[in-house]
């Protein structure tokens, strides 16, 4: 199967089915939660680092 035929098959499946795949939605929700969790960890680490640096500067 060529690449064009593969893309056509995918679009036909998405348009022909009026049902929602619950498993697909759950996977997408889990991926979003992972992204949100990672960004929260990064933001928290940045805030803790900033507070630590500010505290060290105050003690000098």
Any residues with CB less than 8 A from the CB of 9 and at least 6 apart, and which? 1
DSSP state of 49: H
**How confident is the model over 7-12, as a mean pLDDT?**
57
Q: What does the alpha-carbon distance between residue 49 and residue 57 come to, in Å, rounded to a whole number? A: 12
pLDDT higher for 50 or 9? 50
Helix (H) or strand (E) holding 48: helix 22-59
pLDDT at 28: 95
Which comes out higher in pLDDT, residue 56 or 9? 56
Judged against a pLDDT cut of 70, whether residue 6 lies above it is answered with no
pLDDT attached to residue 27? 95
- 3-class secondary structure, 42: helix
CA-based nearest residue to 24, from 36, 14, 34, 12: 14
Chain segment 14-46, per-residue pLDDT in tens? 555 678 889 999 999 999 999 999 999 999 999
């Amino acid at each position: 199967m060529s690449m064009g035929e593969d893309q056509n098959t995918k679009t036909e499946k998405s348009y022909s089915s009026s049902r929602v795949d619950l498993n697909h939605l759950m996977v997408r929700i889990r991926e979003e939660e992972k992204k949100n969790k990672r960004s929260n960890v990064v933001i928290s680490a940045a805030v803790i680092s900033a507070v630590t640096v500010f505290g060290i500067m105050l003690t000098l």
